[in-house]
Structure 1
Amino acid sequence: MKYDLLIKNGTIVTAAESYKADLAVKDGKIVAISNEINDEAEKIVDAKGKLVLPGAIDVHTHMSMPFGGTVSSDSYYSGTMGAACGGVTTIFDYPVQRKGQSIMELINEKKAMLEEEACVDYASHCCITNLNNGEILDEMSKAVEEGITSFKAFLVYKKEGMMVDDATLVRLMERARELGAMINIHAENPDLIDMRTERYLAQGKTSAWYHYMSRPEFVEAEADKRAIHWAKHLNTPLYIVHMADKEGLEAAIQAKRDGADVFIETCPQYLEYTCEVYKRDNGRNFVCSPPMKGQESQDALWVAIKNGLIDTVATDHCPFQTYEKDWGKDDFSKIPNGCDGVEVLYPYMLDAANRGKIPFERAVELCATNVAKIFGCDDKGSLSIGKDADIVIYDKNKDFTVTIDKLHTNCDHTIWEGKQLHGYPVQTYLRGSLVYDNGDFVGKAGMGKFVKRSPRI
């Protein structure tokens, strides 16, 4: 057989082990892994001294998302181009339902843009904001048949009309259980946030610091615990997005130990920064929800990552331009919520491995393998025969300092400015096709394909 791609002499990293081997690709799939493969290939890559990793899956992104009076700055093209350049070969998008809109209307509304613009593969979670008199519960079965097996519920953004009440949440969770689907939740208490926001603004406390103060640890923890309570008593799976606080984390971990089907996601920004960033002159650039928390919460997140108790790391990528962030210069409640991250996700976690904080296998597990397992991406998440040839070649000795001019985002700033990384991806392959090569994007718009996912039953 003549292969399309042969990667030789590298060290393959899986969630379970690392070993030296050659890897061969044909028709977009991994077809051979062996100590030595000497067959012919259209392209041969020498990965001696480098790691060969599965492409990352960023399970939490918001491209072209209307929010806060504007739209997140990354299109599906620029956002997925950045993803490819950071070693992310699949993204999950979060389209948000408008009142009266059906699930498939929502998906089809985004479909044309994704087919035209996406540079990596893509899947969707649907954000459900209302049940349309029960029609959504019926339509969820059709969505699952189409490979859309996860749905998001906001326990926050009440004033914005995006929040679901507890009864709606429970109905969604029960229906998801019947269909083998998953409910993802954004956990914060909106009434406390609104009360505290009004109080601080009335007192003239308007800086970015009060974004954190309006929604501190206990505001997130209460909602975490409420959602976990329903998951345990309804015996239904629950995926908690962007976990940032120690108290909620501990509740989720205890639920796991009690046998509940609870999954925990956190984000690089919570692992790197604390709430102290909101005291900076450019603190509004770091405004996201939930906000970064105190050092105690950050320490707890790292302990849970090291102990295998956090399931995934994703980004909540949702950047806005500086002038838009400046809308809240004198009123923190007007700052569009969101930060960049998709291009930094894998390099950041691999840097942690390269510095000895976690094993490389753990970074792969958090950023690829676990995501594929939890969300039914059967062809993704690992380097094994029959899987999609989504491959990253990583140079442990390449130092990289993050600056906005080196990233591929359509944003004029990055919260990662000046972050020094030891080790960096040098090539990314999407289903065997080179899309990133030593600093340059070499793919093209429209290369990405829809990932049809399997239900959990």
Structure 2
Amino acid sequence: MFDLIIKNGVLVTPSVTYRADIGVWNGTIAAIGADLGTEGGSIKDAEGKYVLPGAIDAHTHLAMPFGGTVSADGYLSGTRAAACGGVTTVFDYPMQKKGKGILETVKARQELCAPEACVDYAFHCCITDLNGGALLEEFQAAVDYGVTSFKCFLVYKKEGMMVDDATLIKVLLKAKETGAITNIHAENPDVIDMNIAKFLSEGKTSPWYHYLSRPEFVEAEADKRAVHWAKSVGAPLYIVHMADKEGLEAAVAAKREGHKIYIETCPQYLEYTCEVYKREDGRNFVCSPPMKGEESRQALWDAIRKGDIDTVATDHCPFMSYEKDWGKDDFTKIPNGCAGIENLYPYMLSAANEGKISFGRAVELCAENPARIFGCAQKGSLTVGKDADIVLYDPNLSFTVSVKNMHSDYDHTIWEGKTLQGYPAETYVRGKLVYKDGAFVGTPGYGRFVKRETSG
């Protein structure tokens, strides 16, 4: 007996694609078989569609204060958009501030998220200050609570978010001790600040100089430094939004040496290059790290095909057009961030449809690997006993992205006009239909907090 039977679809896993039915009971996958019959709950005929595990966007910034404003998508609109793009679990980054605790920080964001979340959610906690060392003693309590990853910034010194190398090492060691993992935003702040001061003094203020102030080698140096410290203390490291070839090569080399180094990149770095900053609307593409040159873009795709990149996430942090316009004459005043949460899975699946990667690889990058790395035991694959987070994907549906057909609260998207081959037709979160044929049909507040295990 099932609540839902999805019949006649083609199931996709990282290793195999096969035709089967899925039976769902009480929010979990209860059975997978060649013919589960038609008795029980509702029947969904998935003939002609791929059946995929829901994606996990392991990198978002919802309702995030930054640059004098707050990101345009809060927890309601951000998770609604996620559902409509086949993302069934979203990771957000609460920002710990000086004098505040980890669980204090996380629980405050959880209170905001819980009434609004349309999909399931989890948290990484950004560490900005060790509170004289006391914060390190909270790591175990955070892990016990289900927050098993912590983020450090090697940049944003003036904003009070950066950690120095000694603090990074302390975090790496404590994370290792407690079975957690450290996420890192790697860029060199001193070189960036030096470049910014130079460009501003010369009157060079267009978005192009956002890229030139933080080019490839600025990210690469910090990537290498982070990898060096992780290797030196034997701690796992997850490098977020990798965008440059040189840093990528260093991280891949460490992985091949047997170190627990995980690499994330984002769709914007796979699609665009720094040339976008020369466009009239270049300010809309300002994010950090910025898109890099074509050589780096190709290196990222090559690493994806070879299996060297572990995950693709979005760094979703959109702002309104008028806020981006604050920096039309001064790139330093542009709030950093772009949209992507609704575009992640469709973009990577379109790449599979176009033959750039396999459908199994898309599932691995967007679902199975983030679930494994971050300890989401009930997520990431079509497996009996796991949550029925399921996407029905129509490979024959052509879809052109526009701000008019997205489900966020922003008023523009860097993906405007991008045509994708294939698109999600339905999304289920724990067996509940939340998206169907272009419309959100879920319920705000349905999403649950994902208590994670130590993993990786």
Q: Could you tell me the TM-score, scaled by structure 1's length? A: 0.99
**Other-structure match for 2:378:** 379
Instruction: Give, in whole Å, the separation in 2 of the partners of 1:447 and 1:273.
Output: 35
The secondary structure found in structure 2 opposite 1:107 is helix
Residue-by-residue CA offset, 1:37-90 (whole Å, 9 max, x unaligned): 115132100001110000000000000000011000001000000000000000
Asked whether 1:136 is paired with 2:145, we answer no
- The Cα shift of 1:249 comes to 0.2
Instruction: Give, in whole Å, the separation in 2 of the partners of 1:288 and 1:95.
Output: 19
- The Cα shift of 1:99 comes to 1.1
Asked whether 1:127 is paired with 2:126, we answer yes
The secondary structure found in structure 2 opposite 1:133 is helix
Equivalent runs, 1:75-114 vs 2, <5 Å: 75-114=74-113
The secondary structure found in structure 2 opposite 1:105 is helix
The secondary structure found in structure 2 opposite 1:41 is coil
What do you get for the CA RMSD once the two structures are aligned? Answer: 0.6
Farther-moved stretch of structure 1 (325-334 vs 107-116): 107-116
Asked whether 1:195 is paired with 2:215, we answer no
Instruction: Give, in whole Å, the separation in 2 of the partners of 1:319 and 1:79.
Output: 10
Residue-by-residue CA offset, 1:157-195 (whole Å, 9 max, x unaligned): 000000000000000000001000000000000000000
Contact 2:372/2:455 (8 A) holds in 1: no
Equivalent runs, 1:10-89 vs 2, <5 Å: 10-89=9-88
Equivalent runs, 1:324-335 vs 2, <5 Å: 324-335=323-334
- The Cα shift of 1:350 comes to 0.1
Instruction: Give, in whole Å, the separation in 2 of the partners of 1:236 and 1:172.
Output: 10
Counterpart of 1:145, as a letter, is: D
Counterpart of 1:254, as a letter, is: A
Counterpart of 1:144, as a letter, is: V
**Other-structure match for 1:154:** 153
Counterpart of 2:229, as a letter, is: W
Instruction: Give, in whole Å, the separation in 1 of the partners of 2:419 and 2:131.
Output: 48
Instruction: Give, in whole Å, the separation in 2 of the partners of 1:41 and 1:113.
Output: 37
**Other-structure match for 1:310:** 309
Residue-by-residue CA offset, 1:127-178 (whole Å, 9 max, x unaligned): 0000001111000110000010000000000000000000000000000010
Q: Tell me, which stretches of 5 or more residues in structure 1 are unaligned?
A: none
Counterpart of 1:264, as a letter, is: I
The secondary structure found in structure 1 opposite 2:30 is strand
Equivalent runs, 1:233-244 vs 2, <5 Å: 233-244=232-243
The secondary structure found in structure 1 opposite 2:413 is coil
Could you tell me the percent identity over the aligned residues? 67
Counterpart of 1:357, as a letter, is: K
Contact 2:9/2:19 (8 A) holds in 1: yes
- The Cα shift of 1:456 comes to 2.8
Residue-by-residue CA offset, 1:419-450 (whole Å, 9 max, x unaligned): 00000000000000000000000001101000
Instruction: Give, in whole Å, the separation in 2 of the partners of 1:445 and 1:85.
Output: 13
**Other-structure match for 2:397:** 398
How many residue pairs match? The answer is 456
4+ runs of 1 displaced by more than 4 Å?
none
Q: Could you tell me the TM-score, scaled by structure 2's length? A: 0.99
**Other-structure match for 2:163:** 164
Q: Tell me, which stretches of 5 or more residues in structure 2 are unaligned?
A: none
Instruction: Give, in whole Å, the separation in 2 of the partners of 1:182 and 1:337.
Output: 25
Asked whether 1:444 is paired with 2:443, we answer yes
